[in-house]
Amino acid sequence: MIVPSNLDDTIPIVCNTEDHEIFGNITAAVARDLPWLQLSEPHDGVAVIVGGGPSMKPLLPMIAAHKGAGQAIFAVNGTIPSLASVDVTPDYFVLLDARAHNQGFVHPNKATKYLIASQCSTGVFEALEGHDVTLWHPAYPGIQDYIGDRLCALIGGGTTVGLQAMSIAFCMGYRHIHLYGFDSSYSLAGEGHAYAQTANAEDPREGYWVSGKEYIAAPWMARQAMEFQTAAQQLAEEDTIIQVHGHGLLPAIAKAMSEPPPPMSEVQKYEAMWKTPLYREVAPGESFAEHFVQIADPKLTDVIVDFGCGTGRGGKKIAELTRCEVQLVDFADNCRDEGNDLPFTVADLTKPIGISGNIGYCTDVMEHIPPEDVPDVIRNIMDCVDSCYFKIALFDDSMGKLIGHPLHLSVFPSEWWQSKFSEYDIKYQHTDHGDACPYATLYVQNPK
């Protein structure tokens, strides 16, 4: 599962420039006599943001048509030469990356205006001396200490220049945005960009599934595709229309977000999710195993049942910590990691499960249950064991957007969950009040 709190663990942000260099660049940029990007009133203009994904190249005639219609073209990174091939001079060129070699993306006199992030290298600003340059500030942690109290817009919305260009366009008043070259995956020929780009040639690659189709992407591409979901939703809530053109992981996600999803049973949902490597990158049950052992204090003779085991890494860690017999239960037969040889039972928790043990372990499961089925699931679990440790997420999921279906169906306050366990003895309870992604923890026993 990917949520704001664990996204950085799942697809880590690997900053390509040291903080001291970034802040040195910001200090130098702020000292320049340049206008800063400000928030503008909404207007009827159309922004066309051109990224460097492989699908951009065959769509260049469409981009030229946008230009001919008087719409504003935003070029990012190395896209200016491609646009020049169809006689398109971008209205704006946007640069974010702080590395010095990105000066090679700058083509003086090839764009009307240049929107340069304050973290960019001094060489970029020197190359654009005498040109129409506006400084913008990414919402980089700690940047406020370097830019002072001067009025400006801090640009967020993601970690890539393409996503931040969407926020820039919004800041400039555009409420209709077209995206080209936002593939966020490799082409069938293995190309990562519409132009030669050696900087990312050695990036690791992984498969990601959307609507039954696999896309090969580097970690930064997958992160961009995931961050797009949040950015697009936030912009849509501000009455912004976003149209994504081309092919790839991000366009597939955009399509899944915009179209009514095909009906899927609960089992089909999770069979589809477990085909997505991204979904199994983080196993919450593994993270909570030590706390479970501390609270439940299992004895060597106890049989522990992991209800809704997912990858099985949680159960495996419990077995390593306690040396107890651990049984795994889930209704998606493809959920477990390869090589996990703990005993496994395929079972639907909404129905009698038919196994027995001493202590149950149920983490990151109950919030996935439809509200009307929660009482039955609790009863079925407690019929199998004497006591059970529950860890329940109190926040919405984001990964379900990959298949067009929400995964967290029972998102309620901790008090609601406590009421559902009223007929059992609650031996321990805790709620992560104040956390961005809070959990409720309950350890319950059958009444004597």
Q: Per residue in 228-255, pLDDT tens?
A: 988 998 999 999 999 999 999 999 999 9
* Domain-embedded: residue 219: yes
At 106 the pLDDT is: 84
Domain's final residue, options 258, 290, 305 = 258
* Domain-embedded: residue 1: no
Q: Note down the domain range covering 376.
A: 271-445
**Residue 354's Cα: distance from chain center in Å?**
37
Do 174 and 299 lie in one domain? The reply is no
**Residue 2: pLDDT band with limits 50, 70, 90:** very low
User: Which residues does 344 contact at the CB level (< 8 Å), separation at least 6?
Assistant: 309, 312, 327, 328, 329, 330, 336
* Domain-embedded: residue 264: no
Do 234 and 305 lie in one domain? The reply is no
Do 43 and 184 lie in one domain? The reply is yes
> At residue 344, does pLDDT exceed 60?
yes
Do 318 and 215 lie in one domain? The reply is no
Do 227 and 287 lie in one domain? The reply is no
* Domain-embedded: residue 266: no
Do 206 and 297 lie in one domain? The reply is no
Taking only the tens place, the pLDDT of each residue in 82-141 is: 999 999 999 999 999 887 777 777 877 777 899 999 999 999 999 999 999 999 999 888
CATH classification at residue 209: 3.90.1480
Do 245 and 282 lie in one domain? The reply is no
Domain's final residue, options 231, 258, 285 = 258
**Residue 20: pLDDT band with limits 50, 70, 90:** confident
Do 296 and 242 lie in one domain? The reply is no
At 97 the pLDDT is: 83
Domain's final residue, options 235, 258, 281 = 258
* Domain-embedded: residue 263: no
Provide the token pair at 228.
């797009």
